Amino acid sequence: MEFQLSPEDEAFRQELRQFLREEVPPEKTGGMSSMNEGDENGGDAFAMAMRKKLAQRGWLTMGWPKEYGGQDASPMRQTIFMEEMAYWDAPGMDLMGVGIVGPTIMRVGSDAQKRQHLHAIAKGEVIWSQGFSEPGAGSDLAGLQTRADLKGDVFVVNGQKIWSSGAHRADYMYLMARTDQDVPKHKGISALLVDLKSTKQGLEIRPIINMAGMKGFNEVFFDNMEVPRENLLGELNQGWYYSMGLLESERTAFINFSAIGRSVIEGLTRLVNDPDARGIASGKRPETRAKLADATIENKVARNLALTVTWMTGKGIRPTYQASVAKVFGTEAFKRLAWSAMSIVGLYGQVERQKQYAPLMGRVNSIYYTSVGMTIAGGASEIQRNVIATRGLGLPR
């Protein structure tokens, strides 16, 4: 056992920190804590410029193979990258394109699809969105009803998606649709790569304002939208099985919860010690001490659970239930932290995204909102617990 980074990994972390100190001024942070989606104050432009800079340094797709513009970086390196970005709350990450779409195209995409998409993602030039969930198909994703009927050289798509994050500004969508109505539900689903910008007909994207008042996700309507046949990803009716592999490439992202949490804890620690910070619970109060100590300990537990997944992946051991454990614990501890943080900052916690009065650049208030969605997005806590119990512990279904 060894609970520390190798000297090379540590050097990489320092290099990253230096880069972030230079490139991301505090007022431009908010990449993780507010999800940074659809920020009207030029946040998008800054995020995309950051993404390009990350790409230029080879960091954006560091985990990819060299032939597709990556660096073959170890899962631990990727985790360090994620962790520092989230700790800094820096914009510019691309979980969808880099973590999900790219690796799936590499695995099952055609040569033409690889040529068209992989380098564009690696250069940080395109925005991807994910069209999975539907009004009637959330946790039960395989129950999706959006249909894509092959007619000649095109798929004709009809139906509706919901919660598609970032679709309002995305170039592409990774769409899951039903291509065979007559087989059991998992077996009739295909994956299509949809060019949102050049699709002129049969597509409507309506932003949904999330409860934090931000444009985060969207409803997407398809009315005889045509998708060229060559945009089918992999084989017909295999889409479900490709998407099941998705979580695997997202795995290193579990570190985000503890990373952003740690920066909030450090900020709170400064605040409660600051004799001039009025209205903030004093660090002398036993309740404050216990809350911050608890948060620190839980944060460590969450980080270790995320690192376990990274470590197993690096070793070539397939985590059966550990990813779900990291997700449930990480997101739930994050929510508890948000509650504690709000109670520590007292009346000031009400102030939203207004830098003067909102504690920690508004981050405390932000995570109070975002932490609500994290235990739902990407498989709700209940679903994760089902996975842990059945796949991990072998309990009967």
Ligand X SMILES: Cc1cc2nc3c(=O)[nH]c(=O)nc-3n(C[C@H](O)[C@H](O)[C@H](O)COP(=O)(O)OP(=O)(O)OC[C@H]3O[C@@H](n4cnc5c(N)ncnc54)[C@H](O)[C@@H]3O)c2cc1C
Q: Which residues bind ligand X (CB under 6 A)?
A: 130-133, 138-139, 163-165, 217, 373, 376-377, 380, 382-383, 386
Name which of 209 and 290 has its Cβ closer to other proteins: 290
Measuring CA to CA, which residue among 367, 361, 354 is closest to residue 256? Answer: 367
Q: Which residues contact 320 (CB under 8 A, 6 or more apart)?
A: 391, 392
How far apart CA 132 and CA 142 sit, in angstroms, is 9
Give the one entry of ligand X, other proteins, none that residue 198 binds, where binding means its C-beta sits below a cut-off of 5 to 8 angstroms depending on kind: none
Name which of 33 and 310 has its Cβ closer to other proteins: 310
Backbone angles phi, psi at 131, to 5 degrees: -105, 80
Terminus-to-terminus CA distance in the chain, angstroms? 36
How far apart CA 71 and CA 57 sit, in angstroms, is 10
Residues 368 to 397 in contact with other proteins, rule: CB under 8 A: 382, 384-386, 388-390, 392-397
For strands 203-209 and 172-178, give the pairing.
Answer: unpaired
11: its two tokens = 């050097």
**Cα 226 from chain centre:** 29
Applying CB under 8 A, does 313 fall inside the site for other proteins?
no
The type of residue at 55 is: A
Q: CB of residue 216 vs other proteins: minimum separation in angstroms?
A: 28
Q: CB of residue 364 vs other proteins: minimum separation in angstroms?
A: 17
DSSP 8-class letter at 147: E
Give the one entry of ligand X, other proteins, none that residue 377 binds, where binding means its C-beta sits below a cut-off of 5 to 8 angstroms depending on kind: ligand X
Quickly count: other Cβ atoms within 10 Å of residue 166's Cβ: 22
Q: CB of residue 70 vs other proteins: minimum separation in angstroms?
A: 21
- Cα angle value 8/13/17 (rounded, 5°): 150
Residues 234 to 293 in contact with other proteins, rule: CB under 8 A: 269, 272-273, 283, 286, 288-290, 292-293
Name which of 4 and 356 has its Cβ closer to other proteins: 4
Binding other proteins (rule: CB under 8 A), the pick from 25, 315, 316, 356 is 315
Q: Which residues contact 228 (CB under 8 A, 6 or more apart)?
A: 153, 154, 155
Applying CB under 8 A, does 54 fall inside the site for other proteins?
no
> Which range of residues in 39-47, 122-130, 317-325, 361-369 is near other proteins by CB under 8 A?
317-325
Name which of 133 and 365 has its Cβ closer to ligand X: 133
The type of residue at 200 is: K
Applying CB under 8 A, does 321 fall inside the site for other proteins?
yes
197: its two tokens = 């910008």
Q: CB of residue 396 vs other proteins: minimum separation in angstroms?
A: 4
Binding other proteins (rule: CB under 8 A), the pick from 145, 158, 238, 304 is 304
Applying CB under 8 A, does 47 fall inside the site for other proteins?
no
Q: For residues 106 and 151, is the Cβ–Cβ distance under 8 A? A: no
Q: CB of residue 174 vs ligand X: minimum separation in angstroms?
A: 9
For the chain, how many residues are written? Answer: 397
Among candidate residues 125, 219, 248, 250, the one labeled active-site is: 250
How far apart CA 385 and CA 245 sit, in angstroms, is 19
172: its two tokens = 């592409």
Q: Which residues contact 128 (CB under 8 A, 6 or more apart)?
A: 94, 96, 97, 100, 101, 121, 170, 171, 172, 173, 174
Active site residue 250: yes
Q: CB of residue 394 vs other proteins: minimum separation in angstroms?
A: 7
Contact characters 69-108, other proteins, x per CB under 8 A: -------x--------------------------------
Name which of 155 and 174 has its Cβ closer to ligand X: 174
The owner of tokens 């932000």 is: 366
Positions marked catalytic: 250
Residues that bind other proteins (CB under 8 A): 1-6, 9, 76, 269, 272-273, 283, 286, 288-290, 292-294, 296-298, 300-301, 304-305, 307-308, 310-311, 315, 321-322, 324-325, 328-329, 382, 384-386, 388-390, 392-397
